Chain A
Amino acid sequence: MADRPAVAAPRPARSGPGAAVLAGAAVASGYGRGTEALLAGVLSGRPAFSSVRRFDVTARRTGVAATMAGSPALLTEVTTVVGDACDEAGLSAGDRARSPLFLAIHTHPAMARAAAADRPRFSPDAFAAAVAERCGLAGAGLRCYTSACVAASTAIADAAAMISRGRADRVIVAGGYLVEPDQFALFDAGRTLADDGRVRPFSAGRRGLLLGDGVGAVVIETAEQAKARRAPVLARLAGWGRTGDAYHPCQPRPDGHGLARAISAALQRAGLAPGDLGYVNAHGSGTRHSDLAEANALRLALGDAAATTPVSSTKSLHGQVLEASGVVELIVTVLAVGKGMLPVNAGFLGPDDGCRLNLVLGEPLAATPEYAMSLNAAFGGANTALVIGRS
């Protein structure tokens, strides 16, 4: 087989017999509110970055991010997308009351500045509970994930695993990050922000990442549940994989072996060969080490198919949305596949020999892949891979 992977999953990645589907999605991003704004934005090829006006950035090395207008409130934005995703899926009040929320956030926005004795009131779980209450979702089964840039993708994988095993009929997965001064200061201190104001994944001359607003929600449920409501199925959640590098607290394993195992596990769960993938929405942070590691991972896991599979990182367009990355980028992938247009890998200056992939450059690529993958990686060497299939 020409596209035999160089790294096989080290063990059989199991799942239950059930099929998980996406039956509703909603999003807000630097392009504005709604999936139409996000899809039009990423297919325009024009990055959403502009000067940050939400707080003072004069002391920072860069003052650019992909933000919505004004100073939106995270609770309002997350509540809105969860409600909108449930509406799109056609969920009744009773359906919502039986559906748990898995929420991915950095923390409760009020916690760090609360008086010490009050901080327990401002836990991430308390924030998630407030969202669930406002949206009429189940109180039981609520989870709040804070695992950095794999928080939302891990939540999606966990939801899919539960549904496949029959442990849940439906889970609402949401994630949210809105650009704010504390993370901006930390990323600036870590010298990870691109001081040229552009994100250039896998490109020569890339200088780092830029933050962005991102809030997204998806309804994940059994195919039977969606069919019973005659709900439009946006995509099938065909496979998922998650692994750890065991290499460094903050840097990815350079050879990409850890991420490659996640990719292989996701393909195995989906019952796919590498050549079956028609698009990869890469983690593609735009940082030197991470992009090299990811390119190596794709070549290891996909083998010969890595040379032909279209790849782009839409972080070059909507920015790095931290804990929400997994859900926002999955939505981008679903929208792009549904539209039959794959977004560009923006900001590309020229090839980096260590990052040779089949990047979507210049303008969106017309394609209707049956399967696509969304990748995420995070501090700690945490890796996730999600595979969707066309509905």
Chain B
Amino acid sequence: MTRSAPVAVIDLPALGSAAVAAGLTVLAAGCWPETDADTAVKPLAGFIESTFSPLLAETAGRALGRRPGPAAPDRVTAIVIATALGDVTSAAHVARAVDLGQRVGPLLFFQSVPNAVAGYLAVRWQLTGPIACVGGLGAGLDIAAALIEDADADEVLVVWVGLGVTEDDGDRAAAVVVTS
């Protein structure tokens, strides 16, 4: 029933180019991995079993921490997550547990939607703008541009995350903070 191509891997140059093509200005950027030292993303308290949320938080944090200059006190930053499969590791873990009649841990409930890690970022970086999660990067950038144009946000954190599909694939993520 599906007709889609395999999930594309988005690297930082591709994300930056797509943002500019969407009419946005890139204020800051970050990705995973950035250097050979990026071998294992550090755990994120409250999130288990999957690298999705730690990877997203680490990559987004790199971009947010590189924003230039002091922030205006009333700056509103929106969060847009673009991820083709989302946290497929957690979803598969829950499905296995359900099928085997095993107990599902409560922490898995909290991380069952990408909003949870978006909420973590919002608290950590005091991001008070809208939160959206979509499957495609193009959609995410269009949403970012519209939020800025309509004054729902001054800037938007756009994060792309792709977990490795097989054990041979690495997890990858890229993030930009954009404005008009």
Contact = CB atoms under 8 A, between A and B. Distances in A.
A242 B118 contact: no
A379 B110 contact: yes
Contacts of B166: 116-117
A146 interface: yes
Interface stretch (A31-39, A187-195, A354-362): A187-195
Contacts of A192: 109
Interface string A337-355: 0000000000000000000
A127 B3 CA distance: 9
B134 interface: yes
Given A143-B139, A380-B131, A382-B131, A187 B109 contact: yes
Nearest to A252: B119
A120 B143 contact: no
Nearest to A59: B101
A93 interface: no
Contacts of A243: 128-130, 152
Contacts of A15: 150
Contacts of B95: 112-113, 182
A144 to B, nearest CB: 4
A217 B4 CA distance: 23
B7 A120 contact: yes
Contacts of A107: 85-86, 91
Interface string B1-19: 1111011000000000000
A73 to B, nearest CB: 11
Interface in B129-155: 129-136, 139, 143, 146, 149-152
Interface residues of B, number: 61
B40 interface: no
A146 B33 CA distance: 25
Interface string B78-108: 1100001110100110110111010111101
Interface stretch (A46-54, A128-136, A295-303): A128-136
**Residue among A12, A117, A146, A249 with the highest chain B CB neighbour number at 10 A:** A249
B176 interface: no
B4 A378 contact: no
Given A120-B6, A147-B132, A186-B94, A130 B1 contact: yes
Nearest to A151: B133
Contacts of A11: 74, 76, 151
A121 B4 contact: yes
Interface string A150-177: 1100100010011001010000000000
Contact of B123 (A59, A121, A186, A247): A247
A219 B92 CA distance: 34
A72 interface: no
A323 B150 CA distance: 24
B113 A147 contact: yes
B126 to A, nearest CB: 5
B149 A165 contact: yes
Given A148-B115, A183-B112, A120 B85 contact: yes
B116 interface: yes
B135 A189 contact: no
A75 B110 contact: no
Interface in A1-53: 10-15
A380 B121 CA distance: 9
Contacts of A245: 119, 122, 128
**Residue among B1, B91, B106, B165 with the highest chain A CB neighbour number at 10 A:** B1
A310 B24 CA distance: 42
**Residue among B109, B114, B135, B150 with the highest chain A CB neighbour number at 10 A:** B135
Nearest to B88: A119
Contacts of B170: none
Nearest to B6: A120
24 contacts: A10-B76, A59-B101, A112-B91, A120-B85, A121-B6, A123-B84, A124-B135, A125-B136, A145-B134, A146-B134, A148-B115, A150-B131, A154-B132, A162-B146, A185-B104, A186-B108, A243-B152, A244-B79, A244-B130, A244-B131, A249-B110, A378-B115, A380-B122, A384-B130
Given A250-B116, A382-B130, 13 more contacts: A14-B149, A121-B4, A125-B136, A126-B4, A145-B134, A148-B115, A150-B131, A165-B150, A182-B91, A189-B103, A244-B127, A378-B113, A381-B119
Interface of B: 1-4, 6-7, 46, 74, 76, 78-79, 84-86, 88, 91-92, 94-95, 97-99, 101, 103-106, 108-110, 112-120, 122-123, 126-136, 139, 143, 146, 149-152, 165-166
- The 10 residue pairs across chains A and B that have the minimum distance between CB atoms: A380-B115, A190-B109, A380-B119, A249-B119, A125-B135, A112-B95, A242-B130, A126-B2, A382-B131, A148-B113
